Structure 1
Amino acid sequence: MASLCARAVRQSYSLVAKPALSRASPRLLCTASQQKKDETDKPEQSAAETLLAEEKAQLEEQVKDMTEKYKRALADTENLRTRSQKMIEDAKLYGIQGLCKDLLDVADILEKATESVPKEEVTSQNPHLKNLYDGLMMTEIQIQKVFTKHGLAKLNPDGQKFDPYEHEALFHAPVEGKEPGTVAVVTKVGYKLHGRTLRPALVGVAKAP
């Protein structure tokens, strides 16, 4: 009798416990499966994120490098444009210096010719010489106007401080009344083209006795 009662109790417990177990098991299994899946996915997601971060860093570095190259290319282009513009401007300003040098010889001859004429002989009583002298003077004045028009200026540094960039010293000698280091004698005038020395003046420089 006692064994029958115990069996009945076990069967009753089994009938009561089984539904509860059957209800709980799917949920527990799903939770366990999800946890297992999450644990499996985490390393994969971490690896993918790391790969994306590396690719992002590489792309950012490439963009930075290309930006620097682009800026350098722009700077080089601007420098080239500036140099080209300067060369064009210099060509416009100094392209005639060869012609100017040749014309300087003509100007020198005219100057020597007018200086060689005795001023006391240039009178109305000597009309031929006067007309010749006046013609030479007019020609010299006109050629100097042409020089000025094209940026060519005469250098006559008599009494000025000697400048090696504008003057060429032929000799140094003590000269009374002249301060040492100044131009005492000008044997040939010089010329500058747009501020650049085209031909230095040939001079004698005073020095201390």
Structure 2
Amino acid sequence: MAIRCLFSARKNLNCVGRLQLFLSNDCSAVIGLYSTAAKQWGTGDDCHGDDTTDDSSHAGTNVRLLEMRASKLEEQVRELTSFCRDLVEVADLLKQTTGNLQGEEVQRLAQVKDRLQGVFTKHGLEKMSPVGAKYDPYQHEIVCHTPAEGEEPGTVAVVKQDGYKLHGRTIRHAQVGIAVMTQEQD
């Protein structure tokens, strides 16, 4: 008999709980009590129950894909940098050849040289003009030292070979002579 009383009290409490939800105007809670679909969804029986393991495997796959893309981009940058270095050597050769010729050939080669510089500028390849600038090991390569006559020691006094940057990144260091103080200047 005591067990029947407990079951009946439990049923009554369940009904009171449902009535309280209905009176609180929380429709989603009331629908959830009477809907088997809502009960099934709430128990984790939906079709995406194993998303946590799939997400980690997808993340690993995405990381590998990104690493492959990054390595391909790095390879393309190396190839482009190598191509620009070779093209800069052609520009240097053109500059030397222009200095040795006279007459109409000089004008033609000067036009070619100017056009080549225009293409360089268009694509972000720029010549460095370091004369008078402070020595920077990331942009300059010291090939000689010169006495600092009227120049501050440690600055670039002479440029032996022009340096170039591609979109701000040095692809060829400028070969420079640095001004140094001599014992006579002390």
The match for 2:108 among 135, 152, 155 is 135
d(CA) in 2 for partners of 1:103 and 1:141? 14
If each structure's helix is expressed as a fraction of its own residues, which one has the higher value?
A: 1
Structure 1 69/154 Cα, relative in aligned 2: closer, same or farther at 3 Å? Answer: same
Alignment partner, residue 146 of structure 1: 119
Number of equivalences: 132
CA deviation string 1:14-34 (max 9, x = no partner): xxxxxxxxxxxxxxxxxxxxx
2:84 is the counterpart of 1:100: yes
Which aligned pairs between 1:6-155 and structure 2 lie closer than 5 A? 71=56, 76-116=60-100, 129-155=102-128
Alignment partner, residue 30 of structure 1: none
CA deviation string 1:38-58 (max 9, x = no partner): xxxxxxxxxxxxxxxxxxxxx
Alignment partner, residue 14 of structure 1: none
**Which residue identity does 1:132 align to in structure 2?**
E
Structure 1 162/77 Cα, relative in aligned 2: closer, same or farther at 3 Å? Answer: farther
Alignment partner, residue 184 of structure 1: 157
CA deviation string 1:45-101 (max 9, x = no partner): xxxxxxxxxxxxxxxxxxxxxx69965x56654544443333343444442223222
Structure 2 spans left out of the alignment, 5+ residues: 1-51
Report how far residue 132 of structure 1 moved: 0.8
SS at match of 2:121: helix
The match for 1:163 among 124, 130, 136 is 136
Q: TM-score, normalised by structure 1?
A: 0.53
d(CA) in 2 for partners of 1:199 and 1:184? 19
**Which residue identity does 1:161 align to in structure 2?**
K
Report how far residue 116 of structure 1 moved: 4.2
Q: TM-score, normalised by structure 2?
A: 0.58
Structure 1 spans left out of the alignment, 5+ residues: 1-66, 118-128
d(CA) in 2 for partners of 1:68 and 1:204? 62
Structure 1 153/90 Cα, relative in aligned 2: closer, same or farther at 3 Å? Answer: farther
Structure 1 205/76 Cα, relative in aligned 2: closer, same or farther at 3 Å? Answer: farther
Larger radius of gyration: 1
Report how far residue 165 of structure 1 moved: 1.0
d(CA) in 2 for partners of 1:77 and 1:172? 55
Report how far residue 152 of structure 1 moved: 2.0
Alignment partner, residue 181 of structure 2: 208
- 8 Å Cα contact 1:101-1:198 kept in structure 2: yes
**Which residue identity does 1:114 align to in structure 2?**
T
Structure 1 113/193 Cα, relative in aligned 2: closer, same or farther at 3 Å? Answer: same
